[in-house]
Amino acid sequence: MKPLRILFMAALLIAVTGCNTLDKRISTRQSQFDAWPAEVREKIRAGRVDIGFTPEQVLVALGEPVRKYQRTTTEGKSEVWAYTGSRVGFSIGLGMGSYHGGGAYAGGVAYETPTYGAEDERVRIVFENDRVTSVEKRAK
């Protein structure tokens, strides 16, 4: 059963280190978070962003964007951060079998991140002068 134990520990390690949770993002910027207005902190804890948020507040609320765009219009330049759905796959598989008196067992761990494309984007955050000026959400 030693291989099973190793397999379990590897899966646990991937699950723990691969997560960028809201609580981790808050704790790494705790002093800044504590200084923000209560209304901003509540929205961040709910995983939401709003007009007027700074890039730092968006990073805490949503994490790193999957993609960043530069937008140029007649009104000027802006930066757009794109976020995708949380479709990360993680699975553990075990198998056992026997044939003519012999036996075998095997296991596997799979960790899959989606292939990102524009169709996967669920939210775009638009910044002008380091403030959120638009929150675009994909209609369902």
Between CA 73 and CA 78 the distance in angstroms is 8
CA torsion, ordered 73, 126, 64, 44, to nearest 10 deg: 170
**pLDDT at residue 128 in the model:** 96
pTM of the full predicted structure? 0.65
**pLDDT at residue 18 in the model:** 47
**pLDDT at residue 104 in the model:** 72
Average pLDDT per 10 consecutive residues for the chain, totaling 140 residues: 59 53 95 97 96 98 96 95 73 70 70 56 95 92
Q: Which candidate, 23, 6, 129, places its Cα nearest to that of 76?
A: 129
**pLDDT at residue 119 in the model:** 57
Between CA 140 and CA 132 the distance in angstroms is 23
